[in-house]
Homo-oligomer: A and B are copies of this chain.
């Protein structure tokens, strides 16, 4: 069996990532140290450094290795419903005690470390936005979205407020909030907007 060795290496890699997550959950990302991961995982420090160049990237990998949600988009024909369902899922994730704080820490680390920012963008943000944009495009082709509307912009307007709550104002992310963002985005804030403009909270 030629890949016996590789299998062991993969098992070790996995063990390290799981330990990283466990420690991050216990003590918080800020106090996480490679030293501690190595000790807890029963692994030499070198073995970690051989795989990851920095704590940030180790953490990125560890967190993404869960690839929890497989936030895949349904296409039922109703954009609003599909988006809502999709964003609900995302919000549930960020709200949960497992992912939430860790993902917040990851985004925080990305602000300090360009490598983390790049990895996060390519491996998590970009795929998500791509999928969303694709779903929007389908909707646009079906006339559910104004023709010519910049879909990247739409994406930003959908995600931005959520991240704003998550990272900046630290208010709780609720499904109700999602609904209101969606409604507002489709209806617009202007005075000529339809009568079903979202009501004040």
Contacts and interface: CB of A to CB of B under 8 A. Distances in A.
Interface of A: 28-30, 104-105, 107-113, 117, 121, 125, 129, 143-154, 156-157, 159-165, 167-170, 177, 180-181, 184-194, 197-201
Contact of A200 (B149, B162, B168): B149
Contact of A149 (B117, B169, B184): B184
Given A149-B198, A192-B194, A194-B192, A157 B154 contact: no
A120 to B, nearest CB: 8
Given A105-B111, A111-B107, A153 B169 contact: no
Binding site of A, secondary structure by majority: helix, strand, loop or mixed?
A: helix
Given A146-B189, A156-B181, 4 more contacts: A107-B168, A144-B191, A149-B197, A153-B161
Contact of A163 (B112, B143, B150, B168): B168
A49 to B, nearest CB: 17
> Of residues A111, A157, A194, which shows the largest number of chain B Cβ atoms within 10 Å of its Cβ?
A111
Contact of A180 (B113, B153, B185): B153
Contacts of A163: 160, 163-164, 167-168
Nearest to A125: B168
